[in-house]
C-alpha cells in the first residue's frame, strides 16, 4: 500500500503528550477548522480552533511526557463519529418535530419537544462511551523530527 493511500485512510494530528497514566497517554491537540490557517482568519468569524485532549491506549512505553507525537485515526471511524454526533441527532429532532406536528401540536411546541428529545439521545451516547472508546481507537507515532 502506498504512503499516499495510507494518508487518505488516516486522520493525523500533531500533538504533545500532557501526561501518561498507566496505559493511557493523554495527548493535547489543536483542532482547527478548515479556514483556521487562512491569512484572513483575523477578520473572519468563521475561523475556529480549540485545544482538545485525546486519550490513547498505549502500553509500549515508547513515549514520554511533553514529547511531540502524531495521533492517528481511521478516516472511516471519523465519519462514523460525525454520524453519531451530528447526523443522527438531526434526523431524530426532525422526526420528533414531524411527529408532534402530525399529532396536532403547534410548531413551537413540536420544536421544543424535538430539542428536549435530544436529552435521552445524548444520555444514551454517554452511557455507551466505554463501548465507543473501544471502537474509536487512536494510535501514536513519533514525529519524524523526534526519531
pLDDT, one tens digit per residue, over 110-135 is: 999 999 999 999 999 999 998 988 88
What is the structure's pLDDT at 52?
Answer: 85
Which phi-psi region, left, alpha or beta, contains residue 26 (left: φ > 0; alpha: ψ -120 to 50)?
Answer: beta
pLDDT, one tens digit per residue, over 43-66 is: 555 556 678 888 888 888 899 999
SS3 55: strand
Confidence of residue 138 (pLDDT cuts 50, 70, 90): confident
On whether the CB atoms of residues 33 and 48 are closer than 8 A, the answer is yes
For the cut 70, the answer to whether the pLDDT of residue 8 exceeds it is no
Amino acid at each position: 500500500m502506498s504512503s499516499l493511500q495510507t494518508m487518505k485512510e488516516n486522520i493525523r494530528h500533531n500533538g504533545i503528550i500532557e501526561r501518561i497514566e498507566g496505559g493511557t497517554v493523554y495527548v493535547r491537540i489543536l483542532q482547527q477548522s478548515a479556514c483556521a490557517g487562512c491569512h484572513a482568519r483575523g477578520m473572519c468569524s468563521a475561523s475556529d480552533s480549540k485545544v482538545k485532549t485525546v486519550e490513547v491506549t498505549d502500553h509500549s512505553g515508547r513515549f514520554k511526557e511533553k514529547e511531540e507525537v502524531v495521533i492517528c485515526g481511521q478516516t472511516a471511524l471519523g465519519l462514523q463519529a460525525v454520524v453519531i454526533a451530528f447526523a443522527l441527532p438531526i434526523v431524530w429532532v426532525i422526526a420528533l418535530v414531524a411527529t408532534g406536528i402530525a399529532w396536532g401540536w403547534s410548531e413551537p411546541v413540536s420544536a421544543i419537544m424535538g430539542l428536549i428529545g435530544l436529552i435521552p439521545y445524548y444520555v444514551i451516547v454517554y452511557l455507551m462511551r466505554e463501548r465507543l472508546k473501544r471502537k474509536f481507537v487512536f494510535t501514536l507515532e513519533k514525529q519524524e523530527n523526534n526519531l
